[in-house]
């Protein structure tokens, strides 16, 4: 099921997202929400989607950067942005730690700000600690474009 992506100005995008308990993560309704978020992200198309973007003030994100998206870009842009395919994964209750001292600026868009892009400073290297869709602890270190995706959705 493809869900409506909320746009800038909607209250849910300004609310503090709440964490999920292990029981809530494993609940069928959360598992269905994760699948709907994946379908919505693919339909948009996008490389990441946070639960508030579809109207749920939850600390839940889905991320995937498909090789077909990257293949459409000029090789110099792929190299400059350090963009590589990222398999689908889920982060719940994520905690972001910046691992570098200076931001890198590139144009980026947001599914909740349809039709617009802007130059945005983001960390070049981050670590994210959280839970996956099975409520298992995960720690992921990311660099380049992958770090930008994480810091945009979590930070």
Q: Render pLDDT for 30-59 as a digit per residue (tens, 0 to 9).
A: 999 999 999 999 999 999 999 999 999 999
Confidence tier at 81 by pLDDT (50, 70, 90): confident
Angstrom distance (rounded) from CA 82 to CA 145: 6
Model confidence at 153: pLDDT above 70:
no
Q: What is the pLDDT of residue 155?
A: 60
pLDDT of 107 over the 90 cut: no
Q: Determine contact, residues 153/140, Cβ cutoff 8 Å.
A: no
Q: Is the pLDDT of residue 75 over 70?
A: yes
Q: Which CATH superfamily is domain 11-154 in?
A: Peptide deformylase (3.90.45.10)
What's the whole-number average pLDDT of the chain? 92
Q: Which residues of 108-129 are buried (b: 16+ CB within 10 A; e: fewer)?
A: bebbbeeeeeeebebbbbbebe
pLDDT of res. 149: 72
What whole-number distance in Å separates Cα of residue 62 and Cα of residue 52?
12
Q: Which residue has the higher pLDDT, 92 or 80?
A: 92
The partner residues of 152 in beta bridges, in order of sequence, read: none
Using DSSP bridges, classify how beta strands 48-50 and 86-98 pair: parallel, antiparallel or unpaired. unpaired
């Amino acid at each position: 099921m493809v869900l409506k992506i909320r746009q800038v100005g909607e209250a849910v995008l300004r609310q503090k997202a709440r964490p999920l308990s292990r029981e809530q993560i494993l609940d069928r309704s959360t598992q269905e929400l994760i699948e709907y978020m994946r379908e919505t992200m693919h339909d948009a198309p996008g490389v990441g989607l946070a639960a508030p973007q579809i109207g749920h003030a939850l600390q839940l994100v889905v991320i995937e950067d498909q090789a077909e998206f990257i293949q459409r870009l000029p090789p110099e842009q792929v190299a400059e942005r350090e963009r590589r395919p990222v398999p689908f994964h889920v982060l719940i209750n994520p905690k972001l730690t910046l691992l570098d001292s200076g931001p890198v600026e590139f144009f980026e868009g947001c599914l909740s700000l349809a039709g617009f892009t802007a130059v945005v400073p983001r960390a070049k290297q981050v670590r994210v600690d959280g839970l996956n869709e099975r409520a298992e602890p995960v720690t992921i270190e990311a660099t380049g474009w992958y770090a930008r995706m994480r810091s945009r959705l979590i930070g």
